[in-house]
Amino acid sequence: MLSLSGSSKRPLEVHAGVAVISKSKVAHEADVPVLPEGIASRCRMLGIDPRSHQAVLVAEGKYYSSPLTLGMGRQFRGLDADLSAD
């Protein structure tokens, strides 16, 4: 759990490898999603994946030792457009 000292905002939870449901209703594995504690608790209780717009942050982590292809760039842009978190 993550909470910022001196902040009146809700506590957050940082997860690894949790699926989030995108605008197109497709589940995408999020490498590092940050969710409000209440949303994360509700999803655990109901056994459901959170919607991408409920995430405060969704970070995607990759490591490539060779130059990226145009297709990989387009795939990332498509994922970015499909996730609805700001």
Number of separate domains in the chain: 1
Chain segment 35-82, per-residue pLDDT in tens: 999 999 999 999 999 999 999 999 988 899 999 999 999 998 999 899
Structural domain harbouring 30: 12-82
Is 2 domain-assigned?
A: no
pLDDT at 10: 81
pLDDT at 69: 95
Query: How many CA atoms are closer than 13 Å to the CA of 37, on its beta-carbon side?
Result: 7
Q: Is the pTM of this model over 0.75?
A: yes
Is 6 domain-assigned?
A: no
Is 3 domain-assigned?
A: no
Chain segment 17-40, per-residue pLDDT in tens: 999 999 999 999 999 999 999 999
d(CA 81, CA 67): 23
Is 43 domain-assigned?
A: yes
Pairing of strands 27-30, 32-36: unpaired
